[in-house]
Chains A and B, each alone.
Chain A
């Protein structure tokens, strides 16, 4: 069902495969339909490789975590947050796509949807955190009344509300992403524009929830590591990293699919140039928000606020923080500043890998200094947690990749996306 005799995308559409049941063909002529299903032959045995690596690292995490549950808790939160930000970012790009009728991203939207709908799987990886929650979020175990700050925040920081919120975040993220993907897939069959309109309505209903869930998830799980500390820019800061890193992941997925012969005639150098422009913008945005947060705290010099940066700008964390500023902003900014290289997929992919590495460092500096105030202290658990969650998500992603076409076959704006002008 996923092969096609006609690979020449200059030819008008010929219906084939499950998508061919529709009789409506003239409206979409000129849009290639061939080769639209992912063939599992490209994955092959690697799928089981990923699953076994995931299980082995999961077992390793449990074994090492038994001896050092505190380190496990923080390592797991670090790895979990890294993948959470990527999924959140993908959902953000889908919402942007539907919300403002973006043309260029039609061809790559399905991959955003595939990444964003990993939320249900991701929520499973939140379960270990439930068991180690008191080790992570100290306010949970502080006796009632012994901390004035906590008493003042008790209306928000209390156990029932905390877990209800967590459940709501996952419910919202999963429902929104699954629903939007469902509409998108439904449109593949008949190309009815009503799905586009429905997706837009869902998007506008979702946007406030998205902002609230993203902000409070960041507040609950990351800012809550030190319940006395506050930063009003925290949610935006995490969002900036999410949007940028998910863009990089999408770029890498698109490139991987292109390298095995998919998306031909759908995604071109022009789309790379556009993704490159957004990467430039969000590199600057991340730096802007990150610096704003730093400067406001540094400038006001209030002890409750400065604790965050005092811990991260002393000992060996300071070196990592300087590397973060240079590596997450300066290096990609200079590399992305020039226009013509951004049209080269290989160049952009290199930068995308680098940015993802820096995003990893970003999350690492957010989470890990809380248990290692004396300085950078790498643990094998950091790596194992990353591998365990990463390979599991990659396996689920690959398993679902072939279920639906690789791009929205009959989106009304697909042709505009293909012929987008940069």
Chain B
């Protein structure tokens, strides 16, 4: 699958391997690192170079990587908040609204007014938690673009080591700053190995 194509641009041109079907569109450029430390510092440089559509890949979570990558706060907490609020409002309307106002249920002569709301707290609480938790799970999957069948990175054989002991950075070709020559030269300057042009699956076209 892998073919070495020497792209000779100038004397210091990097060696770029191609992964995936060369006829398919380019997904991006990937590079491999030996350690979490190298990855971290490389991520800082990619961040400072102004790239937006790129990612780091490692066998384990690296503390502080969000800062090194310049990631903004995730929208997930906002989604969870809205999810929780939805569950709360739903319980409020379904329980309290119906049995205290729309069709007042008089149980053991107890009143049906605003002050009976504690009777409905347990369900409100549970529905809030349920909706918030489900939103957290599915929101996380959606924000990560999951589930998906495959990822172009898997066309790159060396990338399988990402679950073992290697660290990767891939800058996607859809990034506004991306240009094959400049980006590959830039990636090569980060100190990694095996600079690779990763192509999409041919079936994706």
Residues of A within 8 A of B (CB): 291, 294-295, 298, 337, 339-340, 421
Is B121 touching A291 in the complex (CB atoms < 8 A)? yes
- Whether A339 pairs with B77 at a CB distance below 8 angstroms is yes
> B residues near A, CB below 8 A?
63-64, 73, 77, 81, 118-119, 121-122
Knowing A421-B63, A421-B64 touch, does A337 contact B81 (C-beta < 8 A)? yes
A295 and B118 form a contact (CB under 8 A): yes
CB-defined A-B contacts under 8 Å, sample of 8 = A291-B121, A294-B118, A295-B118, A295-B119, A337-B81, A339-B77, A340-B73, A421-B63
Which residues on A sit within 8 Å (CB–CB) of B77? 339
CB distance from B81 to the nearest CB of A (A): 7
Query: In the complex, what distance in Å separates the CA atom of A295 from the CA atom of B119?
Result: 7
Which A residue's beta carbon lies closest to that of B62? A421
Closest Cβ of chain A to B84, distance in Å, is: 10
User: Are B81 and A291 neighbours in the complex by a CB distance under 8 Å?
Assistant: no
Instruction: List chain A residues, Cβ under 8 A from B118.
Output: 291, 294-295, 298
Given known contacts A337-B81, A339-B73, A340-B73, is B122 in contact with A295 (CB within 8 Å)? yes
Q: With the chains together, A339 CA to B78 CA distance in Å?
A: 11
Whether B73 contacts A295 by the Cβ 8 Å rule is: no
Question: Who on chain B is nearest to A301 by CB?
Answer: B108
A22 → B minimal CB distance (Å): 30
Closest to A419 in B: B63
Contacts of B73 in A (CB 8 A): 339-340
With CB as the reference atom, state the residue of chain A lying closest to B78: A338
**B residues in contact with A340, CB < 8 Å:** 73
A291 to B121, CA, bound (A): 9
Q: Closest CB-CB distance, B73 to chain A, in whole Å? A: 7
List of B residues within 8 angstroms of A339 by Cβ: 73, 77
Residue of B nearest to A294 (CB): B118
**Smallest CB-CB A-B distances: 6 pairs:** A421-B63, A291-B121, A295-B118, A421-B64, A339-B77, A294-B118
Complex Cα spacing A337 to B80, Å: 11
By beta carbon, the residue of chain B nearest A313 is B115
Within 8 Å CB of A298, what residues of B?
Answer: 118
C-alpha gap A339/B81 in the complex (Å): 12
Q: Looking across the interface, which residue of chain B has its beta carbon closest to that of A318?
A: B115
Q: How far is the CA of A337 from the CA of B84 in the complex (A)?
A: 12
Q: What chain B residues lie within 8 Å of A291 (beta carbons)? A: 118, 121
Taking A295-B119, A421-B63 as given, write out 12 further A-B residue pairs in contact, using a Cβ cutoff of 8 Å, ordered by the A residue number.
A291-B118, A291-B121, A294-B118, A295-B118, A295-B121, A295-B122, A298-B118, A337-B81, A339-B73, A339-B77, A340-B73, A421-B64
Chain B contacts of A294 at CB under 8 A? 118
Chain B minimum-CB-distance residue to A340: B73
CA distance A16 to B198 in the complex (A): 58
Nearest chain B CB to A323 CB, angstrom units = 15
Q: Which residues of A contact B63 (CB under 8 A)?
A: 421
